[in-house]
Structure 1
């Protein structure tokens, strides 16, 4: 199996899309069979109120978060900015059911704007310490553009309120990274994708992904005085461990039980040693020389969820344990981390999303031995393919009688929608899914709270119209070494909220079969699509990919993608080998901006095949392409005969066989 570089999917705040390859590849990965689905019981008896726009008071809002205090106070936060721009401010609303008094405060940070990142939103937690004192803590990231730095530097900041959100402390930085040499000393570095948790004993725990030592790793700190001071940062997994590297753009998660055991979860980068080397036909000239220099495709990595535990306030940690061997091979970051919860019986609950082909979607499992082993994975919302989904858990009650709530933005749909499933027997079986968000709108990054009696539920999420999503500026793809990431914008996004009393009539909205997200497959009719050529004698002309009577090998690529550049020699060799028999090879670049860098690469590598340029990524939407490179063989009737995702180098035998069969088979033109 080959690696893919993810495209940004049309979802809030540019989350990266996932990888899709043939279902048959599951066996080659050495993965388990598709995890079992729970027995679905009767429809969930949840009576939701109507959705209302929580961010209406600030005109726009993004990155919502919720926290419920033991005394019943609700805290809700989101990020807004004037005109939906990058000058992020944190808004915190505190209220109590049955009380008309509300406290709303706008918080700013002297270091810079607060980031409205959906996968790394601000976090809230209530800490109740010995003696009954209560603190509401907020953790967030401040972004800073630094000359010569491709990504914004980030400072992880904490503020607290001891009077229910009426007044707030000055912000403090929880990291002690002094390795970057940036302005403001230890404040800024690579500190993001954070988690905040208040343990039963009142300790605040913070985890994040940190790049101070090079590759991304998980770090932790804690505070026993309500966030006034913080302990020294601890690297959770030593650099000598095989699981030391963390997927750099997936959020972390923390949970703690009443005995002081702390659990931490993240998506680990795991070396894949199962993929055999593949042979390739010899190629000559230009890109062929480059191919010889780099050898075979880059090493593949698995991106699976792990859990580690600590019994000494995070000073030392157990070896991470995979919650399930998804064996999802993906050389990119999907921007989709796990969720954790611990019930009073010390049962650990975990939910996550995977892009594993043939079993992509949201899963749940649990551990009754403090994270040493995990039960079989339960599929909550799974399909052949899925865009990234962001799942959140809440648990009320204890043990086998606990109620488990799981909500996520369903990536198996073309337009993501907030979905809820509930288990009333400790995670053994789940009610059927309830769709919480409105149809026809992009609803993402849901969060939830539930009271311990499991009688009141609140879900909030970020929402955009489909027109807003379509008009959003594309995210710079950071695989391009010349690209730089701007500060994130709030955009024309709203924070929605719905509340429910459990035991009423379900308010589900049925999804239609046509709403399912489905990549283009072998046997499908290829959509009509034309591209402007930037190379060869036809430079400047528009070429139709589907042409009656012509066999076409379509490749979607970009100059910033290493695997794409590496496979150019193989594609050009296929063109040289079969062009006399009528094969067209068209490589469509999705590089943004002008075609200059595409032309320069083409000329440098002396490519003879046709090169097209699609800076708007129309081919991505038209062909349901979610990663580069992807390659399709299309016959003269426009039917997809063969497809591969990732570097074609490992699939050359199949490509040559499919091409030869297509070229010798007479084409009966459709009339």
Structure 2
């Protein structure tokens, strides 16, 4: 089937009408009859949006990654592409499998699998594979960590560096302290040799929340994660490298939430940057409950007072992106009462470059179970949002294009 024909068929599979034009409709990307999860958005080497996800048989524990590239019209997708080397991926909506496209045509896929290590029966392993021909063929998947002392890696992120190489961070069991938590590691690729020179950049990191790696336009490398402070507080912190990752600043809390919890919230932070500084969003139950936002106008030296984004105290899993108009678009999921039970819906907020709220609304109807949204800015002041819809125990991947000019 040709990509354009497949894209038109996908466009016709609309789960809920949100307008009269293709860009305002919901597109279903995953295959029917399988359980899909873990949507992630990136861009290929030519700037086309790419959505990846995991599909598995409903009763299976593991699956395989797929991805679809947006066509030139911007509002349809080509035929989904299966990545065979990812067979065995363990789907986890916080430990998202990811794709990264380097300018030289290399594509990197990174994903988590079970470790099966006697030292920790819940341990995970991060694998990655490279394609040197734009995804046509793949090298075998290899472990991100080969040190035998490293038996648990998870909650990773990748980003493209100005040099054209890739950087990655992940949580690792290797540490030089008895304090609770994982160590945050950082590594970069060296052409076809893959990730090299891994080194720790932080310790006592909350073991079960996603991490965020962000490379700003000036080349600064930012990381954000949930730290364990004074053995009991699990608050979000930020670090930055201004020398291409050679060193990182000390961790600084973006907000003194003082959330004391003996457990893992399974919802990590997100950050982006624009002309007015850094912008953060996260979930906490300290000093209020739900999804919050703050910004730093001075590259992490100071942070504004946090602001609640949703009326729901159980809003979680926020993500955000800077639009081409320098605005900040934020999405999250939140529970909603529906008939005799509960569904989950996607919330949305658009902020000005300086963080002033311009629009706040919900993107999905209460009748549809929608969760774990991801967002990416695209051309002409638009954003692409992807998320998981559920019908019973089966998930499918949905995507919608939003025009920020119509959000005001």
The reply on whether 1:209 has 2:171 as its aligned counterpart is yes
* More helix by percentage: 1
Cα deviation, residue 451, structure 1: 1.6
Q: Distance in 2 between matches of 1:109 and 1:116?
A: 15
- Name which of 393, 396, 401 aligns with 1:499: 401
- Name which of 209, 213, 223 aligns with 1:264: 223
The 3-state SS of whatever aligns with 2:92 is: coil
Give the equivalent residue in structure 1 for 2:49. 74
The reply on whether 1:98 has 2:73 as its aligned counterpart is yes
TM-score (structure 1 length as normaliser): 0.53
Cα deviation, residue 77, structure 1: 0.8
Structure 1 residues 435 and 138, CA, compared in 2 at 3 Å: closer, same or farther? same
Q: What does 1:263-662 align with in structure 2 at a 5 Å threshold?
A: 263-271=222-230, 301-343=232-274, 345=275, 347-356=277-286, 359-383=288-312, 385-386=313-314, 389-397=316-324, 402-410=326-334, 414-423=342-351, 425-454=352-381, 456-465=382-391, 468=392, 492-504=394-406
- Name which of 109, 116, 128 aligns with 1:145: 116
Give the equivalent residue in structure 2 for 1:197. 159
* More strand by percentage: 2
The reply on whether 1:60 has 2:35 as its aligned counterpart is yes
Cα deviation, residue 212, structure 1: 2.1
- Name which of 131, 139, 161 aligns with 1:169: 139
Gaps of 5+ in 2: 1-20
Structure 1 residues 57 and 74, CA, compared in 2 at 3 Å: closer, same or farther? farther
Contact 2:68 2:77 (C-alpha < 8 Å) held by counterparts? no
Gaps of 5+ in 1: 1-45, 181-188, 238-243, 272-299, 469-490, 507-671
Cα deviation, residue 164, structure 1: 4.0
Contact 2:85 2:138 (C-alpha < 8 Å) held by counterparts? no
Structure 1 residues 347 and 71, CA, compared in 2 at 3 Å: closer, same or farther? farther
Contact 1:354 1:362 (C-alpha < 8 Å) held by counterparts? yes
> Could you give the per-residue CA deviations for residues 514-568 of structure 1, whole angstroms, max 9, x where no partner exists?
xxxxxxxxxxxxxxxxxxxxxxxxxxxxxxxxxxxxxxxxxxxxxxxxxxxxxxx
The 3-state SS of whatever aligns with 1:503 is: helix
Give the equivalent residue in structure 2 for 1:117. 92
Contact 2:186 2:200 (C-alpha < 8 Å) held by counterparts? yes
Q: Distance in 1 between matches of 2:83 and 2:22?
A: 34
Cα deviation, residue 93, structure 1: 1.7
Contact 1:391 1:446 (C-alpha < 8 Å) held by counterparts? yes
Give the count of matched residue pairs: 379
> Could you give the per-residue CA deviations for residues 289-318 of structure 1, whole angstroms, max 9, x where no partner exists?
xxxxxxxxxxx7111100011133333211
Cα deviation, residue 49, structure 1: 2.2
Contact 2:378 2:384 (C-alpha < 8 Å) held by counterparts? no
- Name which of 53, 58, 78 aligns with 1:83: 58
Q: Distance in 2 between matches of 1:105 and 1:421?
A: 32
The reply on whether 1:221 has 2:187 as its aligned counterpart is yes
> Could you give the per-residue CA deviations for residues 242-270 of structure 1, whole angstroms, max 9, x where no partner exists?
xx301110000011123322110100011
Q: Distance in 2 between matches of 1:74 and 1:142?
A: 26
Cα deviation, residue 503, structure 1: 2.7
Cα deviation, residue 443, structure 1: 1.6
Question: Larger relative contact order (C-alpha < 8 A, sep ≥ 6)?
Answer: 1
The 3-state SS of whatever aligns with 1:61 is: strand
Contact 1:394 1:450 (C-alpha < 8 Å) held by counterparts? yes
Q: Distance in 2 between matches of 1:234 and 1:417?
A: 39
Give the equivalent residue in structure 1 for 2:12. none
RMSD: 2.7
Q: Distance in 2 between matches of 1:504 and 1:258?
A: 27
Structure 1 residues 178 and 146, CA, compared in 2 at 3 Å: closer, same or farther? closer
Q: Distance in 2 between matches of 1:161 and 1:372?
A: 39
Question: Larger radius of gyration, structure 1 or 2?
Answer: 1
Give the equivalent residue in structure 1 for 2:17. none
The 3-state SS of whatever aligns with 2:154 is: strand
> Could you give the per-residue CA deviations for residues 457-477 of structure 1, whole angstroms, max 9, x where no partner exists?
211111223xx3xxxxxxxxx
Give the equivalent residue in structure 2 for 1:253. 212
Q: Distance in 1 between matches of 2:262 and 2:77?
A: 50
